[in-house]
Amino acid sequence: MIVSVYIAVSLDGFIARKDGSVDWLEHESGAEDYGYRSFIETVDVLAMGRNTFDQVRSFDGNWPYQVPVVVVTRAMSEDDVPADLVGRVSVSARKPEALLRQLAERGAKHVYVDGGLLVQSFLHAGLVDRLILTRLPVLLGDGIPLFGPLDGDLRFEHATTKSFPSGLVQTEYRSLRHTQPAT
């Protein structure tokens, strides 16, 4: 199974303002999708944190995901899934390792993890295979950071970097956790 993070981040490492607002992303809503469509076509399941779920629900328009979504939270149950999302959204309170085991048993091969605290918990557990970070040329000064405390170093290798006319720079890193030392 592959676990990917695909996320936008400010130059100073924030994914949202302190209040959870992502209004600073709005100026980038043009025709360019920054590779998102081709990425999401490879995803079997999107694991999303509760705050991110609430944020997406607050946006105008229809539910943007065609892939199954699992909201990972202890503060919500299946009964709390809005009627228009029943069958497309499920809820789990499982820890990252247990959630991945369950998703693998259901046949998932590529899981996309989204949401600051959830991403941090998957990183803390050493379960992220790919980090796809799209940096926007804006400094927020304060907000919700993408990264948090770890028990030790997590090593990644650079895979690709793309720059876009809008000033965004997207870099993909791959985890070295599966790499064996040369003998």
pLDDT at residue 182 in the model: 44
16 lies in a domain? no
Distance CA 40, CA 66 (A): 9
> Cα 69–73–78 angle (5° rounding)?
65
Instruction: With cut-offs at 50, 70 and 90, classify the pLDDT of residue 38.
Output: very high
Residue 93 lies in a domain: yes
The parent domain of residue 77 ranges over 1-8+32-141+172-183
**What phi-psi label fits residue 169: left (phi over 0), alpha (psi between -120 and 50 degrees) or beta?**
beta
Grouping H, G, I as helix, E, B as strand and the rest as coil, residue 2 is: strand
Q: Is residue 19 part of a domain?
A: no
Q: Is residue 163 part of a domain?
A: no
Q: Answer yes or no: is 162 within a domain.
A: no
Is 95 a domain residue?
yes
Least trusted range by pLDDT, from 3-7, 102-106, 163-167, 174-178: 174-178
Residue 147 lies inside a defined structural domain of this protein? no
pLDDT of 179 over the 60 cut: no
CATH code: domain of residue 107 = 3.40.430.10
Q: Number of folded domains in the chain?
A: 1
Q: Is 155 inside a domain boundary? A: no
pLDDT in tens, 14-28: 999 999 888 898 765
The whole-model pTM stands at 0.91
